[in-house]
A and B are shown apart, each in its own frame.
Chain A
Amino acid sequence: MSYPPTGSAAPPAPAAAPGPDAAAPEPSAPPPPSGERAVWTEALRRLRAAMLTEPGRLRFIGAVLAALVVLFGAMTAWQVADRSAAADDVLGSSQPLSRDAADIYRSLADADTTAAGGFLAGDRESAASRRRYKEDISTAARLLVRASANSRGSQTARDRIERLNDGLPRYTGLVETARMYNRQGLPVGGAYLQYANNQMRTQLLPAARQLYDAETARLDADYEDARAWPWVALAAGVLATGALGWAQRRNYRRTNRVFNQGLLIATTASVGVLLWMAGGHAIARAGLDDSIEHGAKSLRVLNEARIATLQARGDENLTLVARGGKVTADQRDFYEVEYAAGMKTLAGDGEGAEDRAGGKLAEALALADDAEGREPVQEALANVREWRARHTEARAENDQGDYEGALAKVIGKDRPTKESFDKVDAALKQALKHEQTEFHDAARGGRHALDGLAVGAAVLVVLAAAGAVLGIGRRLSEYR
């Protein structure tokens, strides 16, 4: 309820005593200290008296119209600003955090895989492999600091970050010990590496996964907030426009004049805001939906595929580190079983056409909406098949007891499985990059649809309120 716009915007009606106005009772000094009740009764009596005359009624209508329009403006500004902020969060905060969490997850899995590969190579480990491990660990540590600074009070996220911060130095300590023993040629090095891998597998990766899930849940929540229709503002808009229409119709009936310029301006401005808001939001929603369908969903599946790739590779390496020393309950090589499970997650049982092969890659292929998105996934799929075929060969050599032969087929120079793995990883990296761009473009497009809406609505609404008051004021002046 605000009276001032009416007063200040209606200079032609200064003669009207402020007394009969609807919104007047509060500020008028209450001479009888007997209580507010008497003041209210008095105000109501005067209002009722005023409503008996046309100028009184007009003043009341003008005040109500102005109030409705201003309410509409306020609701619009509030709800649109809310959605813009949520869309900003999607783009600038929760998606990057979710991406960071995915990167933490991936870096950890990559570090573990690289450590196992380097261990197998022993003193022939390349500088590139050592660097990769080092970079993985520092990436994970750096992103953990960032995630911890940004995790807006989510208990789960904070808890997992803490767990990761605890576990990471312990893990690297085990890997370094494994390396040291390995350089001395002592078999206990392999036991250390397997213990490190066990820590990674049972502590760090699950925590990273949960952090990723928590950040992704927040991304989903921000999406929901940004996509929700501004119902309150829309309803206020319909109400304000309806009231303006009614006032014009009343005016037409009483005066036979079709147009009242002020009211016309007010109506146009209100309808403008209403359409702008509905349209802008619809576009924003479409953009956001698009970014979910063609970005966020693909990103999630691709991230999962990439982790599965890394873990399968780590397990493949570990079959050669453990040399059958760790078995499942039914006496099968633990790491071989895990490798097979990882490959299954990645590409199903590997049979049939590309889209029917199953697994994360088939899912990613179904989600990819353009050739640029599909190609790297198809390439990954082809290389997974090659990888599997080569692995079977390597495995056969290992089962034959030809360790050197198996080692050469896994990390050697001539068509090793490492080559296939590197290709799969690179293809998935490229696919992720593409989907990240798709996501960003779509979400930003959606976000831009809301640009200027809050400010524009405020300006237009002031215009509409002024129009309403002017229009009514013009009618009022006819009574003077």
Chain B
Amino acid sequence: MSMRARMADLGSALAPVAAGMGVMAAAAAVLVPVLSSGPAVPHDPPLPSPPRAASAAPAAAGCTEANAAESLRPSSADGDAVKRIKKAGRLVVGVDQNSYRWGYRDPDNPRNLIGFDIDLAKAIAKDILGPDPDIVYRAIPTNQRIDAVKQRKVDMVVRTMTINCERKEDVAFSTAYFKAGQQVLAPKRSSIDAFDDSLRGKKICTAKGSTGEQELDGESHGATVMTVPNQLDCLVRLQLGEADAVVTDSALAAGQAAQDPAVELKGEPFSTDLYGVAMNKEDEDLVRRVNKVLEDYRAGGADSPWTTAYDKWLKADLPGVSGPPAPQYSD
């Protein structure tokens, strides 16, 4: 899509809105430099477009695997989206409630959601709404994550969501807050020791349509592959002896290991998945705000909130992570 065509789209989408030419000019001023990866925009003027102009904000152009994790520079200025959240007095967050250690129901108090993702959502809410913020957690199924953001059922999704170009066509991501990768999970006493030839002749379980399945399609190391609807189903197969090993995201594999002390992660991750907070593409000010929160979240080394959360939720089953991934910015 050419720049001119984009401008035309933007114009046609905005025209019916009685916002006047001033709005269009402001929108163009914000959008054009961003899209052309020009000089950094002062973070002040947030996108003043009305909430319905969805088709007017393409951002995935020129997205490659290498720059997919790039996001907007952080800013703590209040734009429309942040103001809207402040006005509502609550933050609506799409989360998972089935991902052990990331977002799940507290066994001691099933009404509470807890986990690494939940802690991050709390930090974001606290920054926008102040202490003791009102957070509404919405349990979003995996296949609904993008729709929920696009249709504004939630303000953001914090749900072990991998940043990639395909998704960036529909939603905007924050900077990466966790680096995971495909990894092998097997019983502690198993002869399997990594994603290598020790898998020969074994049965490997992975979720249907997952990155793990794609990786195994490319290289299976002589193992037979069994697919199941969900990564957690693999733990069941492993426990029942129907599979010898599981290939999944290291973060999710850690959640599995946390539920069964007899299994562990084997070897190193053999791919890279970066998790980001997904938001509506129009809520540029919110993206910048979340990136600002993430800057603070990462800061402080061993005392950072990030490390505290990692130690609390993940370290036991996903050891060896030295720190958060470095943020990458596109502007």
Contact = CB atoms under 8 A, between A and B. Distances in A.
Nearest to A319: B141
Looking at A184, A327, A401, the one whose CB has the most chain B CB atoms below 10 A away is: A401
Interface stretch (B79-87, B103-111, B184-192, B286-294): B103-111
**Top 9 A-B residue pairs of the complex, sorted by shortest distance between their CB atoms:** A324-B141, A401-B138, A185-B107, A326-B229, A325-B230, A191-B232, A403-B139, A187-B98, A186-B259
A404 B185 CA distance: 33
B111 A399 contact: no
B110 A323 contact: no
A401 B139 contact: yes
Contacts of B153: 399-401
Contacts of A185: 104-108, 110
Given A325-B141, A399-B144, A401-B139, A187 B232 contact: yes
B259 A187 contact: yes
Contacts of B104: 185, 187
Nearest to B207: A325
Contacts of A188: 100, 232, 235-236, 256, 259-260
B100 A186 contact: yes
Task: Tell which of B100, B140, B141, B255 has the most Cβ of chain A within 10 Å.
Answer: B141
A127 B65 CA distance: 54
B97 interface: yes
A122 interface: yes
Interface in A385-403: 399-403
A268 B201 CA distance: 86
Interface string B92-122: 1010011110001111101100000000000
Interface string A289-333: 000000000000000000000000000000000111111000111
A78 interface: no
A333 B104 CA distance: 20
B2 interface: no
Interface string A96-128: 000000000000000000000000001000000
A194 interface: yes
A187 B144 CA distance: 19
Contacts of B322: none
A177 B98 CA distance: 17
Interface residues of B, number: 35
A194 B138 contact: no
B138 A326 contact: no
B110 A325 contact: no
A402 to B, nearest CB: 7
A324 B232 contact: no
Interface string A142-182: 00000000000000000000000000000000000000010
B304 to A, nearest CB: 28
Contacts of B255: 187
B117 to A, nearest CB: 14
Contact of B110 (A122, A326, A401): A122
B256 A333 contact: no
A174 to B, nearest CB: 8
Contacts of A359: none
Contacts of A404: 111
Residue of A184, A322, A327, A402 with most partner-chain B CB within 10 A: A327
A195 to B, nearest CB: 5
A323 B107 contact: no
A134 B153 CA distance: 41
B22 to A, nearest CB: 36
B236 A195 contact: yes
Interface in B24-73: none
B148 interface: yes
Interface string B133-146: 00011111111100
A73 interface: no
B100 to A, nearest CB: 5
Contacts of B97: 323, 403
A212 interface: no
A333 B141 contact: yes
A67 B329 CA distance: 111
A141 B107 CA distance: 34
A192 interface: yes
Contacts of B107: 184-186
A208 to B, nearest CB: 23
Contacts of B143: 324, 327, 331-333
A401 B94 contact: yes
Contact of B99 (A187, A192, A195, A326): A187
A402 B97 CA distance: 12
Interface string A11-53: 0000000000000000000000000000000000000000000
A327 B207 CA distance: 12
Nearest to A332: B143
Contacts of B100: 186-188
A323 B139 contact: yes
A319 B43 CA distance: 44
A333 B139 CA distance: 14
Nearest to A327: B143
A459 B138 CA distance: 84
B9 interface: no
B78 interface: no
Given A188-B232, A323-B139, 20 more contacts: A185-B108, A186-B100, A187-B232, A187-B259, A188-B236, A188-B256, A188-B259, A190-B232, A194-B229, A322-B230, A323-B97, A324-B141, A325-B232, A327-B141, A332-B143, A400-B138, A400-B153, A401-B138, A403-B97, A403-B139
A323 B138 contact: no
A229 interface: no
Contacts of A331: 143
Nearest to B142: A324
A191 B139 contact: no
B236 to A, nearest CB: 5
Contacts of B94: 401
Given A188-B260, A401-B154, A402-B138, A327 B229 contact: yes
A401 B148 CA distance: 9
B137 A401 contact: yes
Interface in B211-266: 229-230, 232-233, 235-236, 255-256, 259-260
A190 B144 CA distance: 19
Contacts of A334: 229
